[in-house]
Amino acid sequence: MRKFYLIIQFLFAVVFIPTAKAQDSWLKVEAGTEFSVALKSDSTLWSWGRNSNGQLGLGNTVNRTVPFQIGVDSDWKQVSVGAAHTLAVKNDGTLWAWGSNGVGQLGIGNLTQKTSPYQVGNESNWKEVHAGQGHSIGIKEDSTLWAWGFNSYGQLGIGNTTNQSSPVQIGNLHDWLTASCGGVHTLVLKADSTLWAFGYNFTGELGDSTTIQSNVPIQIGQNHEWTSVSAGFQFSLARKADGTIWSWGFNGNGQLGIGNTTTSLYPVQIGVNDNWTLIEAGSTFGFAINTNGELFGWGFNMNGQLGIGTTNDQYYPIQEVGLGTNWNYISGAAGAVSGGSVFGTHSLGLQYPNFSICATGSNYMNQLGDNTTIQSEFFNCSTGDLNVGLTEMDKSDYFTAMPNPSNGLFTINTETLSKHLCKVLDAKGKEVYRNSFNTEFFQIDLQNLSSGVYIIILENEALSVKKRVVIE
């Protein structure tokens, strides 16, 4: 047996040198109501937090305290989350949905809840999707606009207030660019940079200077200079091509960012700066990132979701505390107000180079993904590390890694896997080892790596299994 080990080690010395390839970084994070979903650069999807409706897509309704991978697919392109459902598009243009479906928000033709990704129709020409509290909007590659789900306030824009359990086209135009779903209203941009809205409007969230709801798209103003939109719960944000940002709708917690709590029925500029690059409307709060990579938040802050070190509401944009100028993405929780309580009060952000996810705010359902239920008033960037939350993977019967802990020399016994790729990731998800094997029993030498927690992954065409190991 010792001779066998020596042969294997000799072959490693000849054919393999452990390398560190570019890290699989986080690309997007989406904050739902008490749950979170994230997309990695390797096109895998991960989720954590509340799962009572299967919104995590893990095949069950068990809550998760840290990120877990959704299935084994690595071809996801875009994802959006609502109050309790998730929508995603794959690289092949197919549309998938899972989670709550009581009003048809999954678009699968019925009201059946799904706990795993389920394909919506058979089309393969979906470009992007957007999830609201209970409704969904999609845009196809031909720039047509589609809607499904809850529609009591006309938020589907299809000319009536009837719920839809399958995608229905909004009008017949082919010039829609992007969209955003709020609680019960929708904002959409056209290719000519005009702004359109439909749905609930009793607090001015459509921005047409009235409180009359609309079940068809109506243009907001005459400007042809809008570049992005984001809809919250009863309020709206938008950015113009000149770098200014604007808001309208309900303002009871300062979510318009204009220095007061006065509701506005039309777009009003937030401050005087013209260097904003990204906007995000949470349930009752807002965020913006400027050209310097600085993150600012405003509005409702009872749970610390603004990440500024307090729980006081903010009526003007105020910079988050302590994490510098590397921000490139932010997501505020989608949510709703029920019985005077706000649901959806956590925030997720990404900083260059996206090695981890930064989270703040409410955490009683583990939505921050840091393996605790402790609320945070600052952005904590520990979410997404692979050194937590692998307890289920540790129980894998497909292989053993012994001894564990070790000095870096691990003996692998796969028992049932004879041909596979072996990879090792460090605690940040960085690949530090890769080699292929055609035997059930082999040894890997990681003695050149620093002490710490690592993940051994064995993959073949049929499955991918993982196990946590420790190098002392």
pLDDT at 381: 84
Same-domain pairing of 376 and 467 = no
Neighbouring residues of 293: CB distance < 8 A, sequence distance ≥ 6: 324, 325, 326, 327, 328, 352
Percent of the chain exceeding pLDDT 90 equals 68
Q: Is 8 helix (H, G, I), strand (E, B) or coil?
A: helix
CB burial of residue 59 (10 Å; 0-12, 13-18, 19+):
middle
Q: How many residues does the chain have?
A: 472
Among residues 331, 351, 383, which one ends one of the domains? 383
Beta strands across the sheet bearing 420-425:
431-437, 420-425, 452-459, 464-471
**Domain range enclosing 403:** 2-21+389-471
Q: Are 455 and 466 in contact (CB under 8 A)?
A: yes
pLDDT of residue 116: 96
Q: Which of 87-101, 277-291, 371-385 comes out lowest in average pLDDT? A: 371-385
- Separation between Cα atoms, residue 98 and residue 435, nearest integer Å: 35
Q: Are residues 393 and 374 in the same domain?
A: no
**pLDDT tops 80 at residue 464:** no
Tens digits of residue pLDDT in 415-436: 666 677 888 987 666 789 999 8
Do 33 and 17 sit in the same domain of this protein?
no
Q: Are residues 98 and 233 in the same domain?
A: yes
Q: Is the pLDDT of residue 56 over 70?
A: yes
- 167 cis-preceded (ω within 30 degrees of 0): no
Helix (H, G, I), strand (E, B) or coil at 139: strand
The angle subtended at Cα 274 by Cα 220 and Cα 288, nearest 5°, is: 75
Same domain, yes or no, for 451 and 320? no
The partner residues of 69 in beta bridges, in order of sequence, read: 46
Decide: 469 and 404 in contact? Cβ < 8 Å.
yes
Give the pLDDT band of residue 254 (cuts 50, 70, 90). Answer: very high
CATH number of the CATH domain containing 64: 2.130.10.30
Instruction: For residue 172, count other CB atoms closer than 10 A to its CB.
Output: 7
Comparing 7-11, 95-99, 138-142, 205-209, the range with the smallest average pLDDT is: 7-11
Considering the domain architecture, whether residues 359 and 446 belong to the same structural domain is answered as no
Say if residue 15 is in the same domain as residue 32.
Answer: no
My answer on whether 303 and 426 are in the same domain is no
The count of structural domains within the chain is: 2
CATH number of the domain residue 441 falls in: 2.60.40.3080
Tell which wins on pLDDT, 233 or 382.
233
Residue 19 has pLDDT above 70, yes or no: no
Decide which of 361, 383, 405 is a domain's last residue.
383
Tell me, yes or no, whether 400 and 327 share the same domain. Answer: no
Question: Over the stretch 324-355, which tens digit does the pLDDT of each residue have?
Answer: 788 999 999 976 666 556 667 999 999 877 66
Above 70 in pLDDT, residue 162? yes
Q: How many whole angstroms separate alpha carbon 471 and alpha carbon 104?
A: 49
Same domain, 75 and 118: yes
Same domain, 373 and 399: no
Q: Round to whole Å and give the CA distance between 208 and 416.
A: 64
Which of these three, 366, 383, 400, is where a domain ends? Answer: 383
Does one domain contain both 305 and 368?
Answer: yes
User: pLDDT category, 2, cuts 50, 70, 90?
Assistant: very low
- Is residue 369 exposed (0-12), middle (13-18) or buried (19+ Cβ within 10 Å)? buried
Determine the average pLDDT of the residues in 401-409. 88
